[in-house]
Structure 1
Amino acid sequence: MSARLNTAQPYAFGLFRIVVGLLFACHGAASLFGVLGGAMGTKGGTIDAGTWPGWYAAVIQLIAGGLVLLGLGTRGAALIASGSMAYAYFDVHQQMNLWPIQNGGELSVLFCWSFLLLVFTGSGAFGLDRLFAKRSTAESKRVAEQTPVAA
């Protein structure tokens, strides 16, 4: 049974990456464009451009979430996203109370650890990272076959 589960692992990570990236990008889109109910606490509105830290966090959410969703530059985008959520938790939520359940920081903590996991696991299946890696490997192999070997 565990052998079958191990073979499905890249697909599970790929689906996990897609869901987490989509949800994160949706938060950014809501805050920047007022879609999907708008930014939290603005009653359907948006965050004013350049407002620290909310607007910058929303930009990170939209861009990093989109990259993670696509599986493009997954590890780097996930590292930035994880760091932004750690900042959100420690700078915004923890000031109110220590535990996430008490300070409303559960989502920040879950996103932070989810993205940190993706930093170490990579994109899994279905990611553009893998597509480009296969092309790069095939191109390198083709060039190596065409290069004459010096005697």
Structure 2
Amino acid sequence: MKLFKYEIYSLAILRIITAFLYMQHGAQKLFQYPPGGHHQGPFELLSLAGVAGVLEFFGGLCILLGLRTRTVAFLLSGQMAVAYFMFYATKDFFPVVNGGELAIMFCFVFFYFIFSGPGAWALDNVIKTRLNRSKVD
């Protein structure tokens, strides 16, 4: 299969923008920043919201950096699937009505990263290159 010349760069841009947007949900839960939005007020770190905040912020950071992309994407895709069925699907069948479109989009973009990998500009690529170099030496 012939790949588009700039495919790895467009994949990297998708990864970085997705991670940046995802991290904001975790930042609101963990640090109440940026202010406003859905997640306000303190909560227990080991609560469902606390664990979600940790996954969203630090998992998003790993995706942003392209660090352990496939593994972290697997976890985050699962988190978003669980979130959708726990909090949105019970309200209505249609995502546009139940408000779960963003959870579905994050779920499937992360699912895509499981198979595509990080694209360009990723720490995974640096690590792989260094490991291959050390095997040759």
Task: Tell me if both proteins adopt one fold, taking TM over 0.5 as the criterion.
Answer: yes
Instruction: Using the TM superposition, give the Cα deviation of residue 79 of structure 1 relative to its aligned residue in structure 2, in angstroms.
Output: 0.6
In the alignment, does 2:125 pair up with 1:125? Answer: no
Secondary structure in 2 matching 1:37: coil
Residue identity matched to 1:13 = L
Specify the SS of the correspondent of 2:45. Answer: coil
Compute the RMSD of aligned alpha carbons.
1.5
Q: Note if contact 2:28-2:39 (Cα within 8 Å) is conserved in structure 1.
A: no
Read off the aligned partner of 2:115 and give its amino acid letter.
Answer: F
In 2: Cα distance, 1:48 partner to 1:39 partner: 19
1:98 equivalent in structure 2: 93
Moved over 2 A (4+): 45-51
**Could you list the runs of 5+ residues in structure 2 that have no partner in the other structure?**
none
Residue number in structure 1 paired with 2:24: 26
Cα–Cα, structure 1 residues 91 and 110, in superposed 2: closer, same or farther, change >3 Å?
A: same
Q: Which has the larger radius of gyration?
A: 1
Corresponding residue pairs, total? 136
Contact 1:30 1:46 in 2 (8 A): no
Asked which structure has the greater RCO (Cα within 8 Å, sep 6+), the reply is 2
* Contact kept? 2:12, 2:118, Cα under 8 Å: yes
Aligned-pair CA distance for 1:48: 3.5
Consecutive unaligned residues of structure 1, counting only runs of 5 or more, are 143-151
Q: Equivalents in 1 of 2:94, 2:20: separation in Å?
A: 26
| Kept after mapping to 1: 8 A contact 2:84/2:103 | yes
| Equivalent residue, structure 1, for 2:44 | 48
CA–CA separation in structure 2 for the residues paired with 1:39 and 1:48 = 19
Q: Percent identity?
A: 33
